[in-house]
A and B are shown apart, each in its own frame.
Chain A
């Protein structure tokens, strides 16, 4: 069982917006603004698309945005494109000694 909870799947049509939620606790998401999101395509390593709740690394499309409220973080992808189809994982800094926890992942299907 993952420390952070995500929906198993979401879907949307090209051009639409989707939001993926990620729920944790006060020892991770609720306690720090260090939520990250990763995109993973088949056969590839995870790729950082959001860090620090709502910051995008260089080269990541501005269609990706993040937010947080209490113990729940969200990833929004606007203007969905076929290339966005992938698994998305949230993660957070945590007070536990591991310092890093993950969500179980959400499969995004672009219809």
Chain B
């Protein structure tokens, strides 16, 4: 069965960086894009970016340009999202979500990674 398992919660100071991992299983890694979505406390879902693991090509939301890096490591079926220059506004749960190219939607989601930014 398809599984997306994310890394554990992080506590970071303002100005620091965080790198969240998303380890996948149950499907062919290179056949599905991965999207990253975040959810601030009590707020809705905010799309951050996506990566094509076969080509490494990415597209990121304008809001995060210059601060976000998306990478994939096919040898270990793992995707990464790194966000730099953190502020308290980046406190959120970060999700990876597999994009199904036939359904054109995110069908499986990771469990989420809480990133807290506090001095």
Binding site for B on A (CB under 8 A): 2, 32, 34, 36, 38, 45-48, 51-52, 57, 89, 91, 93, 97-105
Contacts and interface: CB of A to CB of B under 8 A. Distances in A.
A47 B95 CA distance: 12
Nearest to A91: B105
B112 interface: yes
A36 B105 CA distance: 7
Contact of A52 (B61, B97, B103, B110): B103
A68 B64 CA distance: 32
B50 interface: yes
Given A93-B104, A99-B59, A100-B35, 16 more contacts: A34-B105, A36-B106, A38-B45, A45-B110, A45-B112, A46-B95, A46-B97, A51-B103, A51-B105, A51-B107, A52-B104, A52-B105, A97-B59, A102-B37, A102-B46, A103-B44
B99 interface: yes
A45 B111 contact: yes
Interface in B57-103: 59, 61, 95, 97, 99, 103
B23 to A, nearest CB: 15
B35, B104, B107: most-surrounded residue (chain A CB, <10 A): B104
Contact of B105 (A45, A47, A48, A103): A48
B32 interface: no
Nearest to B105: A36
Given A45-B95, A97-B59, A100-B99, A105 B107 contact: no
A93 B99 CA distance: 11
B109 interface: yes
Interface in B35-49: 35, 37, 44-47
B59 A46 contact: no
| Most chain A CB within a 10 A radius of its CB, from B37, B46, B99, B105 | B105
Most A CB within 10 A of own CB, among B35, B45, B99: B45
Nearest to A102: B45
Nearest to B4: A45
Contacts of A34: 103-105
Given A45-B95, A45-B112, A97-B59, A2 B103 contact: no
